[in-house]
Amino acid sequence: MTIYDVSEKAGVSIATVSRVLNGSDNVSPQTRQKVLDVIEAYDYTPNVFACGLGLNSMNTIGILCADASDLYSANAIYNIEQELHKNNYTCILCCTGYKLADRQKYLNLLVNQKVDSVILVGSTFIYDNEAENEYIREAAKEIPVLMLNADYDCENVYCGLCDDFKSTLQATNFILDKGISDILYLYNSKSYSAMRKLSGYQSALVQRGLPLRMEYMQYFPGNHADLTSVADFLSELDGTLRYGAVIAGDDNLAIGAMKFAQKKGLSIPRDLSIIGCNNSILSRCCEPELTTIDNCLETLCHHIVKTLIGILNNSEMPQKVIFSGELIKRGTTL
């Protein structure tokens, strides 16, 4: 069944059928109804490829994330998909991993697939070395690029993010207020967002006139999903470092810290306070439950999709919107 069949059965031209399909208002109500009746009767659906060829778009959005099995990404993907679907867009999912070359290939692929836009989930898509962000600027020349939880200034790039600096500042102050000042900051990523978190931690200390000691900011180089290896990492550090609290850039790391504490026989939060980040299901799964930072992922997703839809409808949209996280106080802090 093609548009020709419909036009014939409805006794109109294909142009008129096309107008009805695309909701053009230059069609008389009677004609429109005639066409709709035929479409209904024969259950006609336009061929997407032909539409694509005609309109140079298939109402498709690319979602890029490093790893869809990561809790944060999984949640983001879910929320974004739901919102996009409501707006009649289809999602192409790409799990790029963390390598620049692969990301470049994936992004290129999406541009060639003629998606209407792409959403990059997570701050690791931005590299410190500005030259490495060329792949994003390239893409942004073709289509709008949306970024979830990353901050990048560029024409045709739109960012929605959480004020990570403020979150860890608040978290650190919360610990300091309890009278604990030797706080280990544990992180697993050197992305912009991760570094902002670290800055928040540092700022809190500086504001109180406390010293910044490098050995209290530990970068865990492994995979954060491997909780045991996080715990082992802390064990190896043990002896050289004394701290009364751990603030982690991520719930996984925080859980790793809990595993370490349990192995060492420390009581949480009496001997050791722990704060995570992301308010993932992991934070509710341990005992005691983890105090963590909620970085309003859902809000971010809604915002990103709203922005995207706005752009595609040629509305002016803000290029950067920053939301605020919230410290969720649970059992791992005093």
Provide the binding-site residues for DNA, judged by CB under 7 A: 1-4, 11-19, 21-22, 25-28, 30-32, 44, 46-47, 49-51, 53-55
For residues 223-252, which are near its own copies according to CB under 8 A? 225, 227-228, 252
Tokens linked to 127: 């590299």
What residue 305 binds from DNA, its own copies, none (CB within 5 to 8 A, per partner kind)? none
Please give the span between the terminal C-alpha atoms of the chain, in angstroms, as a whole number: 68
Positions 144 through 163 that interact with its own copies (CB under 8 A): none
Q: Measured between alpha carbons, how far is 166 from 103 in angstroms, rounded to an integer?
A: 30
Q: Is 81 helix (H, G, I), strand (E, B) or coil?
A: helix
> How many residues contact its own copies, by CB under 8 A?
49
Q: Which does 316 bind (CB under 5 to 8 A by kind): DNA, its own copies, none?
A: none
Choosing among its own copies, DNA, none, which partner's interface includes residue 85 (Cβ < 5 to 8 Å by kind)?
A: its own copies
Please give the structure tokens belonging to residue 1. 């069944």
Residue 141 engages its own copies in binding (rule: CB under 8 A): no
3-state secondary structure of 168: helix
CB of 86 to DNA, least distance (A): 21
Residues 252-281 that bind its own copies (CB under 8 A): 252, 255, 258-259, 262, 281
Question: Which one of 1, 21, 36, 91 is in contact with its own copies (CB under 8 A)?
Answer: 91
Span from 74-82, 125-133, 166-174, 175-183 in contact with its own copies (CB under 8 A):
74-82
Contact criterion met (CB below 8 Å) for 252 and 292 = no
Smaller CB separation from DNA, 21 or 266: 21
CB 257 within 8 A of CB 263: no
Nearer to DNA, 12 or 159 (CB): 12
Instruction: Pick the binder of its own copies from 45, 129, 240, 314 (CB under 8 A).
Output: 45
Torsion of CA 182, 173, 201, 240, to 10 degrees: 10
User: Distance between CA 187 and CA 206 in Å, rounded?
Assistant: 19
Pattern 179-218, its own copies, x by CB under 8 A: ----------------------------------------
Q: Do 40 and 7 form a contact (C-beta atoms < 8 A)?
A: no
Q: Quick one: which of 193, 293, 225, 219 has its CA closest to 67?
A: 225
CB burial of residue 118 (10 Å; 0-12, 13-18, 19+): buried
- Look at residue 93 and give the partner it binds from its own copies, DNA, none, a contact being a CB closer than 5 to 8 Å depending on partner kind: its own copies
Residue 228, number of CB atoms within 10 A of its CB: 12
Whats the size of the chain, residue-wise? 334
Task: Record the tokens describing residue 108, joined without a space.
Answer: 């290129």
Binding residues vs its own copies (CB under 8 A): 45, 47-50, 52-53, 56, 58, 60, 63, 67-71, 73-75, 77-79, 81-82, 85, 90-95, 109, 112-114, 225, 227-228, 252, 255, 258-259, 262, 281-282, 284-287
